[in-house]
Amino acid sequence: MADSIVINAERREQMGKAASRRLRKKEDKVPGILYGGSDDPIPLVLDHKDLLKAMQDESFFSQILNVSVGKTSQQVVVRDLQRNPASEKVTHIDFLRPGGQGNQCCNPIAVLKRGRVQRSEG
């Protein structure tokens, strides 16, 4: 198995539409959010070039990633990714912390031969 993908991020201080536009256009950064689990949501800022480089790995959307914010690192999965339809630039990304109570990132199912579907306990 390959090494885990590490994404470097910073805490986002300014919120709102104007601040997000400023990040995207002038600084070539991507706003994002890290939520889930028992911790509070953390607004993030990621470098667009670093994010595109990480997205070239085919397992980016399907494996657990490490997002380092300051001196801490957290395991996350990509929950949502928004792109500009004209330029294909990433405009926003959502990361989800897997685990915790009532927070499942996927619901496993078992498919039987006759077309019946049962949800597996897990």
The pTM is what?
A: 0.71
- Round to the nearest angstrom and report the end-to-end CA distance of the chain: 23
84 is a domain residue: yes
Least confident of 3-17, 63-77, 82-96, 103-117: 103-117
Average pLDDT, integer, range 76-90: 85
| Cα–Cα distance for residue pair 77/63, rounded to 1 Å | 7
Q: Which domain holds residue 91?
A: 6-119
The total of structural domains in the chain comes to 1
Which segments within 19-89 are labelled E, that is strand? 29-35, 42-47, 65-69, 72-83
| Cα–Cα distance for residue pair 44/9, rounded to 1 Å | 6
Confidence band, pLDDT 50/70/90 cuts, at residue 1: very low
| Cα–Cα distance for residue pair 60/29, rounded to 1 Å | 19
Give 56 or 110, the one with higher predicted confidence: 56
CATH of the domain at 48: 2.40.240.10
1 is a domain residue: no
50 is a domain residue: yes
